[in-house]
Structure 1
Amino acid sequence: MANGVLRTGRVALALRLVAVWGPGLLVMLADTDAGNVVTAAQAGAQWGYRLLPLWLLLIPPLYMVQQLTVRLGVFTGRGYAELIREHFGPWWAWISVAGLAIATVSSLVTEFTAVAGIGELYGLSRTLTLPFSCAMLLLVATMGAYRRVERTAIVVGLFELAFFVVAWSSHPDHATVLRDLSHMPFGDRTFLYLTAAVIGATFNPWMVFYQQSGIVEKKLGPADYRSACWDTAFGAVLTQALCAAVLIAVAATFGSAGKPVLENIGEVSLALQPALGPSIGRFVFGLGVLGAAMVAAIVASLALAWGVGEVAGFRHSLGERPAKAGWFHGAYVAGTLGSAALVWRVADLVWLNIAAQVVNVFLLPLVLGFLVALASKALPAERRLRGWYRVVLIGVCCGVCAVGWIGGLSQL
């Protein structure tokens, strides 16, 4: 009898965890977006395994930052932009959303560039792939319920697991790994610039907006806090591991051939062909990139729509019809179609993807500054940032921003 009760309790706990999980995992899958993948590939091609430790070292800071959004969403029931408006005024709220818009458009351009590039590998013109991908994204917004959108996006994002297959098949040489890690070219400007791109790829501003609003939309409360933190922790490890897998695969198959500069998504695919073969390699990589690009496009577009709706003070829920939530759906459509139109005219260049990540670095002080300030001011007294953890968190945020800015400015 006791065993049966214990087993029932464990099942109930497991079901509760599954019900709560979603916003953290989804935002982390979106963090492994096409720009992140291309940045990892470029890092592996140019510098071998030298930037691999950075990706892994960023796991704790990534969790610490996103965990604040969990805390704010669960204990205040308000979105990030909404809290800024309440505690710092509409002017600062609109500035934060302006930064969000820049980051979102940069990311969406990157995602659509990747979709177009993968299509062109198979002879499909971007005049076909871009309208189709836009239609899919707009269809997602009409699903109504947040949980339905969340499940759909997670399924799409799981295609990213193909990157683990790519890394496993590349058979990295352990001696080469150790040799690369023993020599770090900190005086090289290109290395520093890629370091900034890695940081910008890891900390996307729209991640903060999305996860906090997603928690509010999902109606998670204080009882869900621990499960939501585990959701975020698992996602943080997964996203960095996926990017590390891309870097390892490219470094193993392409990094020893000098210092190439990848010009387009097709060249990244070619870099992986020696490991998997021309047909399978291209297909597996393409599948992973498409999954990464589409889930990131969904999350970034929703983050922009939620942010605009929260600051404007209008309805901003997926459950609301477009006629009742015009700001929300209008921002979603404008961000999606506008970014796709830009890609229609822009060449498929890797430098554009990497530059978009560096833009994120310059926006980090604004996003992280408000996040820490809100966690110190907007939360209930017993849940506010305090003590040594507050000091460590501020130190980590300042350190990440400083390294990112130094790297980003190194090319000037």
Structure 2
Amino acid sequence: MDTNDAGLGSRLAAYLSGMGPSWVAGAVAAGPATIASLVTAGALFGYQLLWVVVLSAGAGALTQYLAMRLGLLTERGIVAVVEDHLGEWWAWLLVADAVIAAGVAQLVIMKTVATVSSTVTGVDARIWGVVWALVLAVGLAGRGYRFLEVAAKTIVALVIVAFVASLFVVPIDPGAAVAGLVPSVPSGGALVAAGILGGAVHITLITMHSYTMRSRGWTRDDYSLAAFDVGASMLVAFGVYSLAIFLVTASVLTSADLSTVGAAQALGPLVGPSAKWLFLLGLWGAAVSTLGGNTIVPPFLLADKLGWGTTIDDSRYRGLLVAAALLSAPGAFIGGAVLGQLVLVLALGTVGTPFAIAIVLYLLNSDAVPDRNSTLANVGGVALLLVTGTLAANFVRSQVAGGIGPLSGVVLAFAAALALAMLVLLAKFVREEVVAA
């Protein structure tokens, strides 16, 4: 064997065994909310939104790459970097943005986990909500980040296998699928498109990355491994996961009036029990892995803002983990159809995501990092900002169009505050560049 080939093989093996932080983000992205958006898109519009599914994988990988750069080049948590270079008010705004998005998502994700657990076992979903909350509290507070990372990598891999296997028992229309790669948004598809993209490009994924890398002890010397980690988890694994789910539902389902569990059950009489159980088990694994990954986001950000440690060695951080885990239990008691709630959660997260992207881009082009962003990275980042901003604006417009109620009013106020903050940030950046010139 050629020496170069042997060296490349050894390096690849080391990268594969060393992966981790981005897989935790991938576990959150590859969750029931994303499944709900994909099921809705496929059932309502067939293959028409396939281009959004493909775009989401690339956009998700680029977003995590930018977040990875900031975390490695500063070797600090994002909240501390924001506070040092922008100020305390900006840090609190970022914390509030992420905690609101993660907190709302946590309740609906727990509802999904409990519902699927009940469907599989026959035990009441509310009991499962309490059980899973206790499992989270004991597992995360007792074992810490490494427990979560190992679980995320294992479960996500199994989930992908389950959904890819379901492709072999469902008839796919190749011609219609290719036509779906042509960008177009059918009437009523804006919210669903925002949900699909929101699963891959989300404020929780952006803000958590610097902390998961710190938990692994990664530094600037691990840049290549970290980049490989992002590509393998978000571009490849998450991309395959999304494509498999979308193609299955677009090929078979004809009604979006389903819960995520209902979508799995509907596959049984249509294409056989094997498809039903593969989809159901995949959903269960995705929900469990997402619940764990999402739980750690608020404790990471709050602990960093308060100057506490972000590992279980600090009892205050461990207390935040336990609180976040136990406070997710009420999600199992929420009524209503979970499918629409999951799509809404992702779309709501999309409102807060442009602000997080703007913060990351600002810091990567400031003296916060030793090496500023390349032109290509900046172009990609601005494109992400424009796409997520447009989707967020469409979502807010759709909420307000139905009349200003409690929910739409909160969404509108939240979006307006973040939009104003981004304008201020842009003006600050322009002023600093003019002075520097």
TM-score (norm: length of structure 1): 0.88
**Match for residue 202 of structure 1 among 200, 203, 211:** 200
Cα deviation, 1:312-365, whole Å, max 9, x if unaligned, reads 1112213x1xxx331x22332232222321331333431111110110111012
2:128 maps to amino acid:
T
Closer, same or farther: CA 286–378 of 1 in aligned 2, 3 Å: farther
User: Partner residue of 1:281?
Assistant: 275
1:304 is aligned to 2:298: yes
User: Partner residue of 1:215?
Assistant: 213
2:143 is paired with a residue of what secondary structure?
A: coil
Closer, same or farther: CA 274–231 of 1 in aligned 2, 3 Å: farther
Closer, same or farther: CA 156–119 of 1 in aligned 2, 3 Å: same
RMSD: 2.4
1:403 is aligned to 2:402: no
1:172 is aligned to 2:167: no
1:169 is paired with a residue of what secondary structure?
A: coil
1:170 is paired with a residue of what secondary structure?
A: coil
1:410 maps to amino acid:
S
Structure 1 residue ranges without an equivalent (≥5): none
Q: Contact 1:107 / 1:297 at 8 angstroms: preserved in 2?
A: no
1:313 is aligned to 2:316: no
Closer, same or farther: CA 317–50 of 1 in aligned 2, 3 Å: same
Provide the rounded CA distance (Å) in 1 between the counterparts of 2:65 and 2:144.
24
Q: Contact 1:103 / 1:360 at 8 angstroms: preserved in 2?
A: yes
1:44 maps to amino acid:
G
User: Partner residue of 1:43?
Assistant: 41
Q: CA deviation at 1:207?
A: 0.7
1:215 maps to amino acid:
M
Q: Contact 1:75 / 1:222 at 8 angstroms: preserved in 2?
A: yes
Q: CA deviation at 1:287?
A: 1.5
User: Partner residue of 1:325?
Assistant: 315
Closer, same or farther: CA 182–386 of 1 in aligned 2, 3 Å: closer
Q: Contact 1:50 / 1:180 at 8 angstroms: preserved in 2?
A: yes
User: Partner residue of 2:228?
Assistant: 230
Alignment of 1:13-92 (within 5 A): 13-92=11-90
Closer, same or farther: CA 156–391 of 1 in aligned 2, 3 Å: closer
Q: Contact 2:109 / 2:287 at 8 angstroms: preserved in 1?
A: yes
Closer, same or farther: CA 8–377 of 1 in aligned 2, 3 Å: same
Cα deviation, 1:265-289, whole Å, max 9, x if unaligned, reads 33211232246523x3332222111
User: Partner residue of 1:347?
Assistant: 336
Provide the rounded CA distance (Å) in 1 between the counterparts of 2:182 and 2:67.
37
Provide the rounded CA distance (Å) in 1 between the counterparts of 2:183 and 2:198.
23
Q: Contact 1:68 / 1:371 at 8 angstroms: preserved in 2?
A: yes
Closer, same or farther: CA 110–86 of 1 in aligned 2, 3 Å: same
User: Partner residue of 1:94?
Assistant: 92
Q: Contact 1:253 / 1:274 at 8 angstroms: preserved in 2?
A: no
66-75 or 113-122: which moved more? 113-122
**Match for residue 391 of structure 1 among 375, 379, 394:** 379
Q: CA deviation at 1:71?
A: 1.2
User: Partner residue of 1:163?
Assistant: 163
Structure 2 residue ranges without an equivalent (≥5): 402-437
1:282 maps to amino acid:
K
Q: Contact 1:192 / 1:408 at 8 angstroms: preserved in 2?
A: no
Q: CA deviation at 1:8?
A: 6.8
2:360 maps to amino acid:
L
User: Partner residue of 2:426?
Assistant: none
Q: Contact 1:195 / 1:404 at 8 angstroms: preserved in 2?
A: no
User: Partner residue of 1:133?
Assistant: 132
Provide the rounded CA distance (Å) in 1 between the counterparts of 2:234 and 2:179.
28
Provide the rounded CA distance (Å) in 1 between the counterparts of 2:5 and 2:192.
50
TM-score (norm: length of structure 2): 0.84
2:257 is paired with a residue of what secondary structure?
A: coil
1:43 is paired with a residue of what secondary structure?
A: helix
Provide the rounded CA distance (Å) in 2 between the counterparts of 1:183 and 1:304.
36
